[in-house]
Amino acid sequence: MVTLNHYLILGAVIFAIGVIGVVTRRNLIVVLMSIELMLNAVNLTFIAFSRFLGSMQGQVVVFFVMAVAAAEAVIGLAIIISVFRHRRSLDPQEMQLLKW
């Protein structure tokens, strides 16, 4: 029997993997994928609590989070493509483009 704790532990592990990916990677595409992983971990916890409490509110919030994640992916990839065309690199350490 899978309990709420199993879902929460799995969500925490997935979120931690995403945080490690954001902090340690030097490629912007991998950083965006890690952010998506963190958003999916949060979605998993919303669904777990929704199922545990017998409410549909968590599942409704998941749809909003998925919409934000899709918009983030589209805008993030557009910015990455624009910066790559201009700088020919995707290393976040080399990007001083958006600083004043």
Task: Write a three-state SS string for the chain.
Answer: CCCHHHHHHHHHHHHHHHHHHHHHCCCHHHHHHHHHHHHHHHHHHHHHHHHHHCCCHHHHHHHHHHHHHHHHHHHHHHHHHHHHHHHCCCCHHHCCCCCC
Note the pLDDT tens digit of each residue in 35-77: 999 999 999 999 999 999 988 888 899 999 899 888 988 998 8
Of the chain, the percentage scoring pLDDT greater than 90 comes to 47
CA distance 37 to 43: 10
Average pLDDT in the chain: 86
CB atoms within 10 A of CB 24: 10
The band of 32, judged by pLDDT with boundaries at 50, 70 and 90, is confident
Provide the pLDDT for residue 86.
75
Burial class from Cβ neighbours inside 10 Å (0-12, 13-18, 19+) for residue 95 reads: middle
**Sequence ranges of the domains in the chain:** 4-94
- Give, in words, the CATH class of 4-94: mainly alpha
